[in-house]
Amino acid sequence: MILTVTLNPAVDHTIKLDGPLEAGSVNRAGLDQYDAGGKGINVSKYLDALGVETTSTGLVGGLFGDFVERQLRRTKIPNDFVEMSGCTRLNTTILSTDGEYKINQSGHRVKRRTVQAIIEKIRTYDPETVVVAGSLPPGLGATTVDRIATAGNWNTVVDLQGALLKRLRVPYALCKPNRSELATATGMPTGSVEECCAAARELRASGFERVVASLGSDGAVLATRDDVLYVPAPDAEVVDTAGAGDALLASVLKASAEGNSPREVVQYGVAVAARAVEAPGTTVPSLSDVCEDARLLSVEPQ
């Protein structure tokens, strides 16, 4: 079972405008959508859709925390959260004809002793893999993630900001940075695919068994002890990039757990992520025939 930990979840509010975003005027929305969000929650959504046993935990509170729990129950995503005193944050994405705008709140300050309640919650499920993903709320840092990773006999996977990846001090099974996080974590350039491959190789050697880096419209790269593999992104009608990295991570975890080769793992991850960008918000799109899409993707050893 794969258990995801979202220490700073959110209600994802997606607004789609019929024209450009204009200052000083009333902007009318053609779409107004609310989703239970946060990277770990999104990973659990995709794992569940892909048929992988999962449970989502983390910290919730207030009106938006109630919404997160209600929506996950409604969509039958297994979850078991720890209540906190503050309110869960609201993240807003504005989709307009002139671009994509994101406004993310920092979240409520969390006391370090609250982390022990999370650890006890994880232990009750005895998972094979724990995924710690997303931003951390004020008051928590890299030592919190290290503490979770060493609290039980599970493999730990991280999807964190680049500055946090640099400060982790214990080994991890896998990490999933995006392009900018990869640059921050390594101090290396990531402008080209070749540079991203070199940075992924460097990051892997710093304490991660594997690194899968999402490169947006360029696709993804997987670095293992033996190989660095690059898969270009297929053509897709991009509606919203929110959740694409989470889709990549979930599908990589599924394919890896099933014993697929590194080549098949990264192909499958990119194919699922390509489906994710074609849907607004973080709602999971149809994944029918995605295995066939994956087999058609080229793999370029680096």
Task: Provide the token pair at 108.
Answer: 């409520």
Catalytic residues: 246
pLDDT in tens, 11-20: 989 888 888 8
Least confident of 71-80, 109-118, 168-177, 237-246: 237-246
Phi, psi of 230 (to 5 degrees): -115, 135
> Residue 287: its pLDDT value, please?
86
> Residue 100: its pLDDT value, please?
87
Q: What is the mean pLDDT of residues 257-268?
A: 96
> Residue 37: its pLDDT value, please?
84
Residues 6+ apart with CB under 8 A from 99: 21
Confidence of residue 161 (pLDDT cuts 50, 70, 90): very high
Q: What is the mean pLDDT of residues 214-233?
A: 95
> Residue 242: its pLDDT value, please?
73
> Residue 196: its pLDDT value, please?
97
Collapsing DSSP to helix, strand or coil, 4 comes out as: strand
pLDDT in tens, 97-117: 888 888 889 998 888 778 899
DSSP secondary structure code for residue 224 in this structure: -
Domains of the chain: 2-18+30-301 (3.40.1190.20)
Reference 178, options 207, 35, 165, 264; nearest CA is: 165
Mean pLDDT computed over every residue of the chain:
92
pLDDT in tens, 264-287: 999 999 999 999 888 776 778 788
Task: Provide the token pair at 109.
Answer: 């300050």
**Position of tokens 């000083």?**
24
Strand-by-strand arrangement of the 129-133 sheet: 82-83, 54-60, 2-6, 129-133, 155-159, 172-175, 208-214, 220-223, 228-231, 300-301
> Residue 83: its pLDDT value, please?
92
Q: What is the mean pLDDT of residues 157-182?
A: 96
> Residue 281: its pLDDT value, please?
67
Looking from the CA of 210 toward its CB, the CA atoms found within 13 Å total 21
Strand-by-strand arrangement of the 29-37 sheet: 29-37, 10-17, 89-96, 99-104
Question: Can you name the residues that pair with 92 across neighbouring β-strands?
Answer: 13, 103
Beta strands in 176-296 (DSSP E): 208-214, 220-223, 228-231
Question: Whole-model pTM?
Answer: 0.90
Task: Provide the token pair at 140.
Answer: 């928590």
Residue 31 scores a pLDDT above 90: no
pLDDT in tens, 66-97: 999 999 999 999 999 999 988 999 999 898 88
> Residue 33: its pLDDT value, please?
86
Looking from the CA of 57 toward its CB, the CA atoms found within 13 Å total 20
Q: What is the mean pLDDT of residues 172-196?
A: 97
Residues 86 and 48: their CA atoms lie apart, in Å, by 28
